[in-house]
Amino acid sequence: MAHAHSFSRHYVIAVAIAVTALVTALVTVPAGKAHAQPDPSNFRLERADTDPDLLDGLRDELGTVSVSQVLDSANRTARACYPQVRHRTASFCWNSGDSSVDYWMPQGITTTGDATASGEWEGREALLSSWYDKESGRDMGVRISFVDMSDRSTPDYRHVLLVEPEWQNGEPSFRRVNAHAGGISWYGDQLYVNNTFNGLRVFNMTDLMRVSTGDGSAIGRQPDGSYHAHNYLYVLPQEAHYVPSTTGGADRFRYSQTSLDRTTSPHSLVTSEYGYPGTDTRIVRFNLNEDTHHIAEDSDGYARGDWAYEVGIRSMQGAVSVNGKFHIHRSNGSSTRGDVFTWRPGNWATEYTGAVPIGPEDVTYWSHHGEIWSQTEYPDKRYVYASRESSW
């Protein structure tokens, strides 16, 4: 297992004085922790699989559908919009209802560019966006927007509800997923969903299932044997849960965001922390098993971090690495535009103040287009957008 080296604080991460009109700021870590960077092996994840009999029971009851079938059943169309994004290459806005709804909050983002080396899944290009239920009164959990990216400015899309399987009176059923879903990454058949201090949840993209509609209050198996999901037509049941722990005195890690890095060998997941004031926020990288698409485990069953860094960026909302260069987004609340940092570990980091719209969230790299994709969260200020990676 490869480990990160410890670097002295005074030269590892700072922000250069801009030679253009860009505003820059110092990226700091607490002085009390300046003596060393984290040992990545102190950050652990242990995979706990859903009962296979339970998943088989749901498959027997409901069958499965493909990603292409979900895309083909799209029942919403996004609107063209043109947000002010530095180096913008593409963008769209959700339909009017999704743009303004105040209880579904968009967070994580990933694409078929993460999922496969070809950048396609079943011959399609798609973007996925996670939303969490913020006080709807129905407590619906997390939904995923499946967006058909054959049209990059007004794409069609459909929402799918994530569910956690459970036995109910001896019958296979499911309940809502309790997660903030601040980041998502699609890798092979695995969809990784951030669960903050509860690690990562995993969903198998071959297990999409169609359920009954017509009852917005019902979820799971009903007395008549039908299955409902708050009026969503499709569900995606949880396949596993990566339970977090730390050793060596490391503070517990906040799994706020996740991105995929296909430019490393092996491929890796980059996990990052939100924090305010964020003086001790960290980034941890976990290597992936390129055959199973699981997080790579040691012989004792634990997946341990393979690189870690304390970056100390306030309100970090997402971090993605491309050939060793990080793109990090920071939110400045609901009334001020967001910032972008670019950084190579061991060098200076540059902050591009106000480079993206208000409320930026998770980020992902779509290598086949050479683009960094992200989105914003606040009602009536919601954009999904891409920028040219090589221009940063």
pLDDT > 70 fraction of the chain, expressed in percent and rounded: 91
Query: Half-sphere exposure of residue 256, counting CA atoms within 13 Å on the CB side?
Result: 25
pLDDT of residue 359: 98
- List the one residue out of 385, 388, 365, 389 whose CA is nearest residue 377: 385
Tokens read off for 223 = 């007395």
Which pLDDT band, with edges at 50, 70 and 90, does 266 fall under? very high
Average pLDDT over residues 55-74: 98
Average pLDDT for the chain = 92
In the chain, the amino acid numbered 212 is: S
Residue 357 has pLDDT above 70, yes or no: yes
**How crowded is the C-beta side of 32, counted as CA atoms within 13 Å?**
2
- Cis preceding linkage at 277, omega within 30: yes
Q: Are 242 and 47 in contact (CB under 8 A)?
A: yes
Question: pLDDT value at position 139?
Answer: 96
**pLDDT band at residue 270 under the 50/70/90 scheme:** very high
Mean pLDDT across the stretch 225-251? 98
pLDDT at 349 over 50: yes
Q: Given this model, what pLDDT does residue 36 score? A: 61
Neighbouring C-alpha atoms within 13 Å toward the C-beta of 388: 6
- The per-residue pLDDT for 17 is 29
Q: pLDDT per residue over 281-310, tens digit each?
A: 999 999 999 999 999 999 999 999 999 999
Tell me the β-bridge partners of 93: 79
SS3 50: coil
Contact 268, 288 (CB under 8 A): yes
The mean pLDDT value for 15-41 works out to 47
pTM over 0.85: yes
- The DSSP H or E segment spanning 142 is strand 142-148
* Residue 318 structure tokens: 């997402």
Give the mean pLDDT of 320-337: 98
Instruction: For residue 348, name the pLDDT band (cuts at 50, 70, 90).
Output: confident
From CA 228, how far away is CA 67, in angstroms rounded?
Answer: 20
287 touches 266 (CB < 8 A): yes
Is the pLDDT assigned to residue 382 strictly greater than 80? yes
Whether the predicted pLDDT of 30 surpasses 90: no
pLDDT tens digits along 145-167? 999 999 999 999 999 999 999 99
Give yes or no for a contact between 287 and 296, defined as CB atoms under 8 angstroms apart.
yes
Domains and their CATH numbers in the chain: 9-391 (2.115.10)
